[in-house]
């Protein structure tokens, strides 16, 4: 180690790890907003280690957080389970666009080729420029007509207004998705609209950004998104709002007001306090009394 340090031209970080189950109350200190100006007096945010392990069961991520975020993450951890518990299957589309490039073209067939760019929040843009050869993956085409899937863009910009874009497929169509989309089949398809709403919510977009460092939205990241333990608690209210959103989207009407109402319901599903909501959404439009009394 001494020789290594003597010849080093860059920074070195040495750490010793111990593999054991942490104590119930064990806290992890995460550096926040530190740079060369704070090197002598760095700032940290503490978060329960078991909460981190529950929030990121497959990846053991350490999130990039700001002041106050650990309180919200602890709250979300207590009131959630991984989305994977609701999922029957998740796939990166139906075909690889590079490997199977000879199986689609601009020649019209009755099988549409959808890409990630067709997926928007609550709306699948049904106009396509490419079609799949009629004899390719027929079994998958039939499966897509048998079930309704939740689909998400697999590539989104790290600085985009939203990282998560989810909508539902249409069973009346014959189609395949390219690998630039994530395709989810739930164990209980009656939860499709509620789950889509959660994936489009400000809360889960905020959560996803805490660990995403590139422009991909990977299946393993989606599977460990924290979903409410009691998802059916607000299901009727959420679905009524989703139905109105879908109706408006068909005529390209604005749905911002309805999406804000869903965000409020989502905050309540995770039992967030008003102050915790303000950490996620600094421009939240309700005061504390209005939030408590809402919906």
CA dist., res. 231 & res. 191, Å (int): 8
What ranges do the domains of the chain cover?
22-78, 83-231
pLDDT, position 227: 96
Q: State the DSSP H helix or E strand holding residue 114, giving kind and residue range, or none if neither.
A: strand 112-114
pLDDT, position 294: 86
For the chain, percent of residues with pLDDT exceeding 90: 84
pLDDT, position 134: 95
CA dist., res. 122 & res. 4, Å (int): 54
What is the reported pTM? 0.91
Closest CA to 70 of 42, 28, 33, 41: 28
pLDDT, position 18: 72
Instruction: Provide the angle, in degrees to the nearest 10, between the axes of the packed helices 235-250 and 192-199.
Output: 80
CATH architecture assignment, domain 83-231 = Alpha-Beta Complex (3.90)
pLDDT, position 8: 55
Token pair in block for residue 183: 């395709």
CA dist., res. 171 & res. 145, Å (int): 4
Closest CA to 195 of 74, 276, 277, 85: 85
Q: What stretches of the chain show up as alpha helix (H) in DSSP?
A: 2-7, 49-55, 69-78, 138-146, 192-199, 202-209, 219-223, 235-250, 256-269, 274-280, 288-293
Residues belonging to the chain: 295
Residues of the chain with pLDDT under 50: none
Please report, to the nearest 10 degrees, the dihedral formed by the alpha carbons of residues 100, 106, 111, 114 taken in order. Answer: 70
Residue pair 151/124 in contact by the 8 Å Cβ criterion = yes
CA dist., res. 139 & res. 170, Å (int): 17
pLDDT in tens, 1-24: 555 556 655 666 666 777 777 787
pLDDT, position 25: 82
Tokens 């009727």 identify what position? 236
């Amino acid at each position: 180690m001494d020789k290594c340090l003597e010849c080093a031209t860059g920074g070195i970080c040495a750490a010793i790890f111990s593999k054991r189950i942490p104590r119930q109350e064990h806290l992890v200190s995460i550096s926040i907003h530190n740079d060369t100006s704070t090197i002598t007096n760095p700032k940290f945010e503490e978060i329960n280690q078991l909460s981190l392990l529950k929030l990121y069961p497959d990846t053991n991520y350490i999130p990039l957080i700001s002041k106050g975020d650990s309180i919200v993450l602890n709250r979300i951890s207590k009131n959630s389970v991984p989305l994977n518990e609701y999922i029957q299957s998740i796939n990166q589309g139906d075909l690889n666009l590079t490997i199977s490039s000879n199986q689609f073209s601009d020649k019209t067939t009755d099988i549409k080729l959808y890409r990630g760019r067709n997926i928007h929040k609550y709306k699948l843009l049904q106009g396509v420029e490419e079609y799949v050869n009629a004899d390719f993956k027929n079994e998958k085409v039939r499966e897509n007509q048998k079930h309704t899937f939740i689909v998400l863009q697999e590539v989104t910009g790290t600085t985009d207004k939203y990282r998560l874009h989810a909508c539902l497929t249409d069973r009346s169509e014959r189609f395949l998705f390219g690998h630039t989309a994530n395709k989810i089949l739930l164990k209980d398809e009656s939860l499709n609209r509620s789950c889509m709403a959660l994936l489009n919510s400000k809360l889960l977009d905020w959560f996803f950004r805490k660990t995403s460092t590139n422009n991909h939205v990977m299946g393993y990241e989606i599977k460990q998104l924290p979903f409410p333990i009691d998802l059916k608690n607000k299901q009727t209210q959420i679905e009524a709002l989703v139905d109105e959103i879908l109706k408006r989207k068909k005529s390209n009407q604005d749905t911002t007001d309805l999406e804000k109402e869903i965000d409020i319901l989502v905050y309540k599903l995770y039992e967030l306090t008003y102050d915790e909501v303000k950490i996620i959404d600094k421009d939240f439009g309700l005061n504390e009394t209005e939030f408590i009394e809402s919906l």
